[in-house]
Structure 1
Amino acid sequence: MSARHFYFSRFFLHLLAAGCFILFISSCTVVKNYPQGKPFVYKTNINVIGNFTNEEKETLESRLKGQLDDSMRSRSVSQVVRNVMKNPPVYESDNADKSVIFMRALLKSLGYFTDTITYQSHIDTVNKQEYRTTVTFDVKPGKVVRIDSFAYNFKNTELQALALANQKNAFIKKGDPFAKSAISIELDRLVDMYRNNGFMRFGREEMIGLWDTLDVSLLKPTFDPLEQAAILQKLRERRENPTANLEIRLKPGHDSSKLKKYFIGDVTVYPDLVYDTTGFARTVEMVDGIRIISYRNMFRPRTLTRNIYFKHGDLYNLKKYLKTINRFNSLGAWRLVNIEQEVRKGQDTADFIVRLTPAPKYSFTTNIEGSQNFNAVTGNLFGFGINLSLLNRNFARSASQATTSIRFGVELGNQF
């Protein structure tokens, strides 16, 4: 063997040994400020058991880990060549039991109603004062319950017609998991849909979702052996592939006044709202069917009316209401935007009051910059600049922003 080959072989071995040493050190965890003489949570594992793809299993394990009680979480910080864990919590089985309750709540919200969750703990004694506890949760979610049928049953002609006309946009479909999140999103969709069609006061509290996992046809008594065999077969299939029927309807005892359609009544705008009106002259004018009450005459009336998307006599529409708020907020001329809805007693009309609190009209900013350039030809160059900027948030009373900027800079030579 040549000396050169021997040298490279030794170099490779040393490099490999150094790499293994660094890998070993980096895999170690140093625990600081641990409870003396008491078991503490060192590591928590969650194993999902069942017929799941790798992606489904990883997603479910991640979500289950988020349900751990705070006292079951050990946190470590990765440093250059090691992990450092500080102030780990004392291990108590009660906290593990709480975590099981939280995990079961999550599984039920995802459609798993026959879960089995167990855990075991292992204590690794490092020394007489350090007891590292590893807790492993074994989670068997069971079969997910899927939706076999989904229907609306509002017992109200207008509500039922709107729901059926827009059912293609529903977040719940036959065959989907019976998940609480999907049902919640569907209820929110229905509320928005009704409010966009005049039902201004309609809310989620007016609806309930009824679900049933029992097939009534399986309870009918029969003496026919063939029918009994068919029923038993259906019961086996439902145990292997559990399903549920879901129906959304109005809650018993609901407030009937919230099932009324509302139209837009009078629209009043306070464009330059001030709490102390002493010394200001109040002016009132009607522009495009909108009453404008001003104290300081800061904005042109047309600037206000063209940014209001609901008009007198229109059917109430939540989208237009929110669009108006967002539009005034985006202009930047007002620091506070508020639209009040006042229902007329005994009528299907609501008046709207738009209260706008102006932001400071001018905003002034300034900054100083410095730079230094090293060049072999010109030598060292030093320069500095001053930037001045003036922002007008209500240019020409149009709620438009105008910015005026002035910049002054000078560059000094190498003699500086």
Structure 2
Amino acid sequence: MKRLFAKILLFFLTLVLIISCNAVKRLDQDENLLVKNEIFSNGEIVKDAGIKSRLYQEPNTSILGFPLGLHVYNLARPNIDSILSERYLENERKRDFLVNILSKKQFDKYLNSRKEFNQWIKKTGEAPVLVNEEETKKSENRLKSWYWNNGWFNVETDYKIIPLEDKKKRARVEYYVTPHEPYLIDSIKTEISSQALDSLYEMHKTESEIVPGTKYNTLDFNDERDRLSDLFRNNGVYNFDQEYITFDADTVDTNHKVNTTLIIKNRRNNIGDSVARVPFKIHKISKVNIFTDYTYNKRNEPLTDSARYENYRLFSFDEMRYKPEAVSDAIFIKPGTIYRDADRTRTYNRINSLRVFKYPDIQYSLDPSDTTNTDLVTNIFLSPLPKYSLGFDFDVSQSNIQKFGIGFGGSFLIRNIFGGLENFEISGRGSIASSTDAAASRDENRFFDITEVGADMKLSLPRIFFPIDTEKIIPKYMSPFTNISLGFSTQRNIGLDKQTFSGIFNYAWKPSKKLSNSLDFLNIQYVRNLNTKNYFNVYRNSFEELNDIAQDSNYEFMDPSEDPVLGIPDEADDFINYVVSQDFPNTGLNEEDFFNVLDIYERKLRLTENNLIFATNFTYLWNTRESLYDKEFSRFRFKVETAGNVLSLLSGVFNYEQNEQGNDKVLGVAYSQYAKTEIDFIKHWDLGRDKIFAARAFGGIAIPYGNSDNIPITKTFFAGGPNDNRAWQAYDLGPGSSGSFLEFNEANLKLAFNAEYRFGLIDEFKGALFVDVGNIWNVLDSNTNPDFVFEEFADLKELAVGSGFGLRYDFNFFVLRFDIGFKTHDPAQPEGKRWFRDYNFTHAVYNVGINYPF
């Protein structure tokens, strides 16, 4: 396989070399392909990407130096019409032959399809970027503009087009910049006509973006214009606009100093054909009218119901369906306060988040009863969404556990169920699937051997539901919600089968557009295993190891053959009990085999026991990404969770029963007690020209204590898979250097680091090169196997490294992803033989996923 890979690589490189010779085959003799831009400032090369991005022309996009898009473009025929005319239209014999075979209509379609395909190749590829004197001059002017806007008013620029001597029809462009001495901000004066604006400016002038003594920067003046506009519009100046702000900069005979004057004129007021200027005023809100069931068709109908709450006036065309205090609580525009843009924006966001109304319409008008023309009447028009909504979903899936699966579900939503803008939702889900490796005890003739059915109920309250007032801690502008949910699911699969009951009491709030918090005040989960007798049919590796040990022991098999096999489940359990109840010398086993049986026994107990989790967790999420189309952003998530502490405190009050291991039981189940934390950081850098560098770092640890000596399997970590380390399948990496000999490998400590370089290929096809680093370990729990356990920093040498490449297709609303991962550093291999041991396509892992992994 390695020799085949080498041949493929050699063929590819040869092909690239041959194609590269034809990169300029479509160019005329006097045309040159742009291959490189260089900028020199005072003789030194400029590496700043922000400055280089100002150039009007950039060389063709390349992948590792190969301009793929250009070569695709060159596959198109520039004179396709002439070729088709000469080949088919002017050649009467060939034309008549094809017309007789295809018909005239089909013949015309054939010629048109050739033209369309040729046009598609052009559109898919990238036209050659030719060195152009006019566009090079534009680049020079852009450079001059950039330096001027950054304080170098006396900048001088020039350029030179240099044809390459060793390559025909190719040229590079060098740009030369002489910035000279920059200009600094000196004095700042003001000419503000309105007394109200002048007072506001003086109160907040220390916050100015224009600072004396700093280098002039046009962006600082733009930021100051934005700051002043926000300042005025959030302090009562309702009709202010940025166009009223201008700056006058004096640089004549100032010794490279900029004397700035801020000018804000009075507001224009059109009266007939004349224009007068009147001073800006501070406006306040006199009335807030809320129309709770407004529709365009009802606009001329009479209002039949009304209510008043804390100076808010609510109106309805039909009977009022909403509690006045609930609706007014979502409104941040308060009667008696000054006008603020921020209040309007918060009102929009809050009402939109309720999922009860459509996007609201908020209008302001002068109060006719106010003679000073400073009072504003606010009319808020709310259009209700349907009270009841039905939703259905259906999907088909495939994974390393199931070869084919069908999922389906539905939901029923009741809006404003109690009149206080609460939403109640009932949802159900189900799935059937065919496993890739069904357990032996299953009906092998059944195609669908995995089934799951579940139902959930969720009540969402638009406030913090708590005995005491939380307004000072979580004010309403943070859009607080209380979510109460109950869930149940039952699962029949290739494993142990299980039922899950869950209940969550959650608080969620958003202090800002980028920051969101979530607190599960109580998160209860009960997992009940239904088919524990199937354990050794599922975990075959454990069974085979146990059977090999039994054959070397004094145990008497029920199977009389020469190669006896333990019966599942009774005889396998009987052998474990035989070993555990005896001293290992009496069983015929050595010490190592004896402790291996104990490990198998303890793992079986852990994976077959029922779990009861009473947890509390808090999640902090900071995300600068505003939409799916953002190319540069940061995302930081921190989560901390504790479980079992309340039940532990109550152990002194209630006389808990205990299981065989001495753990306290609640409702017949030993409850879990642990502390868990996760930190996840993602950063994307936009490199320009459809190139992005993305990185992620993740760390998580869960420590059992008190009533537990291990972590419930639903709360542990795993490694590998299409969104983790892509050189390993999910659950196939780790723990530590153990070699992943278990069917599902998990542990309570995880480190993961990922880096990916993404670039455009052709049209909507994208490429990627990636490196994934990480592993899982056991720490501070019942596992003592040195291959599994993280004991010291030296164990970081067990970090697995995967690398590879990927191909993606961007559908705009989602990305279809295909990645190939190669085991670059495999900690399961002996030390000294871990690097590039299985770095080939035979041992590669092929991943298919939806959207980017991070």
Quickly name the TM-score band, shorter chain normalised: 0.7 to 0.9
User: Are 2:114 and 1:91 aligned?
Assistant: no
Cα shift readout 1:170-210 (whole Å, capped 9, x = no counterpart) = 11111222111111111111111122221111222222212
1:15-414 equivalent positions in 2, closer than 5 A? 31=23, 34-50=26-42, 57-59=46-48, 62-69=49-56, 72-78=57-63, 82-84=66-68, 85=70, 86-124=126-164, 131-214=169-252, 238=255, 242-251=256-265, 256-257=277-278, 259-277=280-298, 282-296=304-318, 297-344=320-367, 347-361=373-387, 362-368=389-395, 385-409=407-431, 413-414=443-444
Q: Distance in 1 between matches of 2:404 and 2:130?
A: 60
1:221 aligns to what? none
Deviation, 1:78, is 1.3
Q: Distance in 2 between matches of 1:339 and 1:95?
A: 47
Q: Distance in 1 between matches of 2:203 and 2:306?
A: 44
Q: Distance in 2 between matches of 1:331 and 1:40?
A: 60
Q: Distance in 2 between matches of 1:181 and 1:401?
A: 46
Deviation, 1:385, is 4.6
8 Å contact from structure 2 (residues 284, 336) kept in 1 = yes
Deviation, 1:150, is 2.4
What letter corresponds to residue 47 of structure 2 in structure 1? E
Q: Distance in 2 between matches of 1:167 and 1:182?
A: 14
8 Å contact from structure 2 (residues 24, 169) kept in 1 = no
Deviation, 1:253, is 8.0
What letter corresponds to residue 37 of structure 1 in structure 2? Q
Q: Distance in 2 between matches of 1:281 and 1:402?
A: 29
SS at match of 1:178: coil
Deviation, 1:118, is 0.7
8 Å contact from structure 1 (residues 365, 390) kept in 2 = no
Q: Distance in 2 between matches of 1:281 and 1:159?
A: 40
Q: Which has the higher helix share?
A: 1
SS at match of 1:165: helix
8 Å contact from structure 2 (residues 413, 425) kept in 1 = yes
1:415 aligns to what? 445
SS at match of 2:200: helix
1:173 to 1:334, Cα distance in 2 relative to 1, 3 A: same
Deviation, 1:314, is 1.5
Deviation, 1:156, is 4.2
Mark the runs of 5 or more structure 1 residues left unpaired by the alignment. Answer: 1-13, 217-237, 375-379
8 Å contact from structure 2 (residues 288, 380) kept in 1 = yes
8 Å contact from structure 1 (residues 50, 141) kept in 2 = yes
Q: Distance in 2 between matches of 1:288 and 1:397?
A: 18
Q: Distance in 2 between matches of 1:29 and 1:338?
A: 62
Q: Distance in 1 between matches of 2:252 and 2:183?
A: 12
8 Å contact from structure 1 (residues 44, 135) kept in 2 = yes
1:88 to 1:368, Cα distance in 2 relative to 1, 3 A: closer
SS at match of 2:297: coil
Q: Distance in 2 between matches of 1:213 and 1:142?
A: 15
2:468 aligns to what? none
Deviation, 1:215, is 5.5
Q: Distance in 2 between matches of 1:176 and 1:34?
A: 51
What letter corresponds to residue 131 of structure 2 in structure 1? Y
Which is bigger in relative contact order (C-alpha 8 A, separation at least 6)?
A: 1
Q: Distance in 2 between matches of 1:119 and 1:271?
A: 65
Deviation, 1:274, is 1.2
Deviation, 1:119, is 0.9
Tell me which moved more, 276-285 or 145-154.
276-285
What letter corresponds to residue 214 of structure 2 in structure 1? D
- TM-score, length of structure 1 as denominator length: 0.74
SS at match of 2:154: coil
Q: Distance in 1 between matches of 2:399 and 2:146?
A: 59
Q: Distance in 2 between matches of 1:386 and 1:89?
A: 51
1:281 to 1:158, Cα distance in 2 relative to 1, 3 A: closer
Q: Distance in 2 between matches of 1:58 and 1:373?
A: 46
1:166 to 1:115, Cα distance in 2 relative to 1, 3 A: same
8 Å contact from structure 1 (residues 368, 385) kept in 2 = yes
Q: Distance in 2 between matches of 1:324 and 1:173?
A: 35
Q: Distance in 1 between matches of 2:403 and 2:41?
A: 69
| Count of aligned pairs between the two proteins | 359
Cα shift readout 1:76-131 (whole Å, capped 9, x = no counterpart) = 2316x83333411443312222222222222222222111111111234788xx62
Q: Distance in 1 between matches of 2:266 and 2:281?
A: 17
- TM-score, length of structure 2 as denominator length: 0.38
Q: Distance in 2 between matches of 1:144 and 1:332?
A: 54
Q: Percent identity?
A: 19
Cα shift readout 1:346-404 (whole Å, capped 9, x = no counterpart) = 51111111122333441412224566777xxxxx9977553222334443333333331
Deviation, 1:273, is 1.9
What letter corresponds to residue 31 of structure 1 in structure 2? A
